[in-house]
Chain A
């Protein structure tokens, strides 16, 4: 059979962010793929070395449009560790609340993208409609739907009052019903199942070899979650389940993500109930003592690692970001081999790429 090269990207209806796959196909069967990255590289790590510690919070919020808050959280935690600052419990709680809201928003967005890629427009519309509720809550809290600018070094910028907390509770209750419906659809809708089950299957060995983290790893039964294994912010005071599945296919990752959304909703309720009174920030100095630190956090897509080195000045000497998308891309190289062309969008959706995070 003759081989054709089918370009997926950098501009393609399947992709929401620029990335390029050159697929080699024999008829409907994809035999190989070549990946090209770097279309949204903005040199953020270098830029961070030229800006002050405080300015960097706003710069790093722009690494990613979906998990903007987790990046600032990881960064602030690292800097606070270097400064040996004690962050007030109320600030920790609000940080965690935003993290969980962001996870809900990211997972609902992902479900919509998956649904659209398998041609299920209705679920795409529904999950993105429901995602609006989370965005509204985040806007109500911080003034921003996508870039919230909540974190500052030493705490948070916002201090919600009782009325706001009540309106968040109402929003979350409404959202819970919608998430239950979506879980029901993912579990039982047959045409969605035939398109996602047994597609993009991974194994524990493969996931380990490529260092893949997050929902994709949990979908093959790897029970890992930084929130539980190395608690940061206020997670040590909250109780939640780490969701795992055993299938390893795209359907399993969908189940993991939708169940995690439910879990996040319960976490939000716990936070709202246990929110301590008090300050939301402590003062931080302009200069950070020399030293280095590794800060970790569980982003919606898995573990984010920040390596920060200070030379004792008002700027970081080095800042290295490692996001969960890069290992996922290396896993994709294995997955996009010997599959049907029609499964390519499903497999690509399954790993939930965040190209902006990977390129920085």
Chain B
């Protein structure tokens, strides 16, 4: 009984829970910053910089405008962080699933989209003029990328006939990786993820030269640190989710039958996650920021119809 509780606690807090996610988040952030720096002819930060930044921000004083709603401003980053951490529990890592049930994909997608709403709220309740403009932008952006993102991630579920992530992963090991069947869906999911993480060219809500810091302009200290951590862990969970849904999880094809299966699983999963992360980094070097109306155009005129096309094709194939 006690060992059961201990086991659950370890899974939640250490591996693959909070500590593992935190380590991944810092590592991913470092790889991301370093890659971008190298591509931009800069040196980039040393490996411990993300941790140093986090610790520094955590120890700084937190100041908010007098008109801001203090309890809500305190709660928002905490709830956002909790949402993405909870989402992580249902995403298999390296072939290991902490918790799984039929329909966990929907829960994960819901939990991953919560921070976007809290981000908007953060802008609204912290009352700065840049915060409010940034907040309304983030909401508009949410409606542009979220629909294609959801459609793209529904397609593999419909193909498999299951809304459980681990089943979708399992199915890919026996058949083929979803990315080969639904390349369009994969691209849409990638674009959606970039929008979700507010990376270039979709960093519209926090465009420095337009709205200073966006919804987080008035945040500082511990609260800001938690917001940053939320985005970092969201990056990790997003990348893991895409690896599971489209790249076959830890499956390495014929290599999976080699000895040391556990190690190979971890290696395969890590490699794929790294490739995804590098794709994100390279993309953010290549573009200028779009304007919010241009993003809305892109979302509704291009991405959403393509998502529908992907869904329709998947359903047709399923019906035949």
Residues of A with Cβ closer than 8 Å to B? 4-7, 12-14, 25, 27-28, 115-123, 125-126, 129, 189, 191-192, 194-195, 340-345
Docked complex Cα distance between A341 and B138 (Å):
15
In the complex, number of A-B residue pairs with CB atoms less than 8 Å apart: 82
Cβ–Cβ contact A6 & B209, under 8 A: no
Q: Which residue of B lies closest to A123 (CB)?
A: B288
B173 an interface residue at 8 Å Cβ cutoff?
no
Choose from B39, B130, B288 the contact partner of A191 (Cβ within 8 Å): B288
In the complex formed, the residue of B with least CB distance to A116 is: B209
Q: B210–A344 contact, CB under 8 A?
A: yes
Closest to A342 in B: B291
- Which secondary structure dominates chain B's binding surface? helix
Which of A12, A14, A126, A191 interacts with B290 by CB under 8 Å?
A: A191
Cβ A27 vs Cβ B136 within 8 A: yes
Contact A192 B288 (CB under 8 A): yes
* Contact residues in B for A129 (Cβ distance below 8 Å): 41
Residues of B within 8 A of A119 (CB): 200-201, 203, 207-209, 288-289
Is B212 located at the chain interface by the 8 A CB criterion? yes
Q: How many Å from the CB of A191 to the closest CB on chain B? A: 4
A14 to B203, CA, bound (A): 15
> Are A122 and B40 in contact, with the CB atoms below 8 A?
yes
* Residue interface mask B10-43, A partner, CB < 8 A = 1: 0000000000000000000000000010011110
Q: Quick check: is B48 within 8 A (CB to CB) of the other chain?
A: no
Q: Do A4 and B210 form a contact, CB below 8 Å, given A129-B41, A194-B294, A195-B288?
A: no
Whether A125 and B133, one on each chain, are in contact in the complex, defined by CB atoms closer than 8 angstroms, is: no
- Tell me the nearest residue of chain A to B200, going by C-beta: A119
Q: Which residues of chain A are near B287, meaning CB under 8 Å?
A: 120, 191
Closest B residue to A195 by beta carbon equals B288
In the complex the two chains form, what is the Cα distance from A270 to B290 in whole Å? Answer: 41
Q: Which residue of the partner chain B has the closest CB to A117? A: B209
Q: List 29 A-B contacts (CB under 8 A).
A: A6-B129, A6-B130, A7-B129, A13-B209, A14-B210, A28-B137, A117-B209, A118-B209, A118-B289, A119-B203, A119-B207, A119-B208, A120-B288, A120-B289, A121-B36, A122-B39, A122-B40, A122-B285, A125-B41, A126-B41, A129-B41, A191-B286, A191-B288, A192-B288, A195-B291, A341-B211, A342-B210, A344-B210, A345-B210
Taking CB atoms, residues of chain A closer than 8 Å to B184 are none
Determine if B237 is an interface residue (Cβ-Cβ < 8 Å): no
Interface range on chain B (Cβ under 8 Å from partner): 20 to 34
Cross-chain contact B129 with A121 (CB below 8 angstroms):
no
Which of A14, A189, A340, A343 has a CB less than 8 Å from the CB of B288? A189
State the 5 A-B residue pairs at the shortest beta-carbon distance, nearest first.
A119-B289, A120-B288, A345-B209, A125-B40, A191-B288
Interface centre among B208, B210, B287, B290, by most chain A C-beta atoms within 10 angstroms, is B210
Q: Say yes or no: is B277 at the interface (Cβ < 8 Å to chain A).
A: no
Cβ–Cβ < 8 Å partners of B208 in chain A: 13-14, 119
Q: Can you name the residue of chain B whose Cβ is closest to the Cβ of A113?
A: B209
Residues of B within 8 A of A12 (CB): 212
Q: Does B292 contact A (CB under 8 A)?
A: yes
Known: A14-B209, A122-B285. 18 other contacts (CB 8 A): A4-B132, A13-B209, A14-B210, A115-B288, A116-B209, A119-B207, A119-B288, A120-B287, A121-B285, A125-B42, A126-B41, A191-B286, A340-B291, A341-B133, A341-B210, A341-B211, A342-B207, A345-B209
Shortest beta-carbon distance, B197 to chain A, in Å? Answer: 15
- Whether, in the assembled complex, B53 has its beta carbon less than 8 Å from a beta carbon of chain A, the answer is no
- Is B293 an interface residue when CB atoms closer than 8 A count as contact? yes
Bound-state Cα–Cα, A255 to B212, Å? 28
**Do the beta carbons of A194 and B41 come within 8 Å of each other?**
no
Minimum Cβ distance to chain A for residue B246 (Å): 25
- A191 and B204 CA atoms in complex are apart in Å by 13
The answer on a CB contact under 8 Å between B291 and A126 is no
What residue in chain A is nearest B42 (Cβ atoms)? A125
| Contact residue among B40, B137, B291 (Cβ-Cβ distance under 8 Å from A121) | B40
Chain B positions within 8 Å of A117 at CB level: 209
| B191-209 vs A, Cβ < 8 Å mask (1 yes, 0 no) | 0000000001101100111
* A122-B286 in contact given A4-B132, A129-B41 (Cβ < 8 Å): yes
Contact status A195-B39, CB under 8 Å: no
Closest A residue to B211 by beta carbon equals A341
Residues of chain B within 8 A (CB-CB) of A25 are 133
User: In whole angstroms, how far apart are the Cα atoms of A28 and B207 in the complex?
Assistant: 13
Contacts of A342 in B (CB 8 A): 204, 207, 210, 291-292
Q: Which residues of A contact B209 (CB under 8 A)?
A: 13-14, 116-119, 345
Determine how close the nearest CB of chain A comes to the CB of B293; give it in whole angstroms: 7
Residues of chain B with a CB closer than 8 A to A7's CB: 129
